[in-house]
Amino acid sequence: MKKLMAANWKMYKTCDEARSTAEELVKLTATNLPADREVLVFPPFTALKGVADALAWQEGFFAGGQDYYIEEEGAFTGEISPKMLLDAGAVYGLTGHSERRHILGEGDEYIGKKTAYGLARGLKVILCVGEKIDERKGGEVEEVLERQIRVGLKDVPTDVAPDRLSIAYEPVWAIGTGEVAGPEEISAAHGFVRKILISIFGNNANEMRVLYGGSVKPGNCAEIIALDNVDGVLVGGASLEGESFSQIVLA
Ligand code: PEP
């Protein structure tokens, strides 16, 4: 299974800035990219086509959409469909990111619908899950992860191709805070995520990637990526500069 090194650019970068960061990333990374790694960038929608074009000719590099709606087209002002993402060059879609759960108010049921819909419409999907700090302190990590995964994958066919569905474990308290989860916390959470995936998808789940996200940086990536059941990373802040994300990809 190839490790997936993913960048989430959130609501940062103009079209020109995004394209030139993508070009810099290719320049710094492509010739040294190990055969067992893939690179994925989630730019803002406005920059998706430019970034996808900059990455398209490069083997192992992909673009994705940070969000999408659960219809193909229609009177849904402000929304964008998987069909539109694919048309702009996206291969992946992201669901359940903590900022969409906790700032935009998306719930497990809607995230579940979105995950299944994106897969059915041809996207590869990464479902993000993770506990808040009070849930960790209250000993509820497994309960939260199990609920977010089971409801989030409720409508996904059990024979889904395993390379099309990934989970990103992103403890909310580690996102954008500089506070990275420790190796034991990451290993325990990833082992638990794998166990739940196996209970849903059987052996196929061993081929599904489980990414870690939360304050990953060039200096801590190698240690994180070497842990059992860590099949990649999802990186926010440290992915915004081509040089820093390139160091993470190659760590
Ligand atoms: C993220 O946005 O998914 C994320 C993990 O952000 P950061 O790397 O900045 O913590």
CB–CB of 127/111 below 8 Å?
yes
Query: Each residue of 56-75: pLDDT tens digit?
Result: 889 999 999 999 999 999 99
**Residue 9 marked in a binding site:** yes
Report the candidate in 67, 45, 46, 64 with the shortest Cα–Cα distance to residue 56.
64
User: Could you tell me the distance, in angstroms and rounded to a whole number, from the CA of residue 157 to the centre of ligand 1?
Assistant: 29
pLDDT at 8: 98
Asked if pLDDT for residue 90 goes beyond 90, the answer is yes
Q: Which residue minimizes the CA distance to atom 7 of ligand 1?
A: 236
Q: What is the pLDDT of residue 166?
A: 98
State the DSSP code for 104: S
Q: List CB contacts of 32: < 8 A, sequence separation 6 or more.
A: 250
Length of the chain in residues, anyone?
251
**Which atom of ligand 1 is nearest to 175's Cα?**
10
- The pick from 8, 95, 167, 249 for probing ligand 1's pocket by mutation, whose C-beta has the most ligand atoms within 8 angstroms, reads 8
Q: What is the count of structural domains for the chain?
A: 1
57 assigned ligand-binding residue: no
| Averaged pLDDT, 99-111 | 97
Mean pLDDT of the chain: 97
The CATH number assigned to the domain holding 179 equals: 3.20.20.70
How far apart are the CA of 98 and the centre of ligand 1, in A? 9
pLDDT bin (cut points 50, 70, 90) of residue 150 is very high
Q: What is the per-residue pLDDT for 195?
A: 98
Alpha-carbon span 160 to 163, nearest angstrom? 9
* Structural domain harbouring 210: 3-249
How many Å apart are CA 153 and CA 127, to the nearest integer? 9
Distance CA 122, CA 108 (A): 21
pLDDT per residue as tens digits for the range 209-227: 999 999 999 999 999 999 9
pLDDT of residue 57: 82
Q: Which positions ≥6 away from 129 have C-beta within 8 Å?
A: 96, 144, 145, 148, 149, 152, 167, 168, 169, 170, 193
**CA 88, 94, 96, 98: dihedral to nearest 10 degrees?**
-100
Instruction: State mean pLDDT over 185-198.
Output: 98
Say whether 236 counts as a known binding-site residue. yes
What CA–CA distance (Å, rounded) separates 35 from 220? 21
Q: Given pLDDT bands bounded at 50, 70 and 90, which one contains residue 113? A: very high
Q: Is the ipTM of this complex over 0.95?
A: yes
Q: Which atom of ligand 1 is nearest to the CA of 170?
A: 5
Q: What is the pLDDT of residue 179?
A: 87
pLDDT tens-digit profile of 155-185?
A: 999 999 999 999 999 999 999 888 888 999 9
Closest CA to 115 of 208, 235, 33, 194: 208
pLDDT above 90 for 249:
yes
